[in-house]
Amino acid sequence: IRDEESGYNKNLFCIPKHYEEDLERVFIPHGLILDRTERLARNIMQDMGSHHIVALCVLKGGYKFFADLLDHIKALNQNGDKSVPITVDFVRIKSYC
């Protein structure tokens, strides 16, 4: 996002009531995030070729993104010419602070 980017008016989106007062604008719409996540899945499948994919999720904050990314990878895996094995694992990390 460029510094001069003004974002989108929050009235264009369904914002939960408890967030309305805390938000001024929306910088990245959900649809754009989903599109970029699908593009990332396509890039991963292309880069990995027929190699085994090991997907590692850092728990707590990363789960939703991880699940969406894996859904796209699985769809590409099912609809593609070849099936690539995928192993999924999770880690939980504590901060030293």
Average pLDDT for residues 7-16, to the nearest whole number? Answer: 85
Structural domains of the chain, count: 1
Q: Which residues are CB-contacts of 72 (< 8 A; sequence separation ≥ 6)?
A: 37, 38, 40, 41, 42
Q: In percent, how much of the chain has pLDDT > 90?
A: 36
**Assigned domain for 2 exists:** no
Residue 96 reports pLDDT greater than 70: no
Kindly report the backbone phi and psi dihedral angles of residue 87, in degrees, each rounded to the nearest multiple of 5, phi listed first. -110, 135
Q: Which residues are CB-contacts of 39 (< 8 A; sequence separation ≥ 6)?
A: none
Query: What confidence score (pLDDT) does residue 79 get?
Result: 85
**Side-chain half-sphere exposure of 63, counting CA atoms within 13 A:** 6
Residue 7 reports pLDDT greater than 90: no
**Assigned domain for 1 exists:** no
Residue 52 reports pLDDT greater than 80: yes
Q: Which residue would you say has higher pLDDT here, 80 or 89?
A: 89
What CATH number has the domain bearing residue 16? 3.40.50.2020
Q: Please give the residue range of the domain that contains residue 84.
A: 8-92
Question: Model pTM?
Answer: 0.71
**Assigned domain for 26 exists:** yes
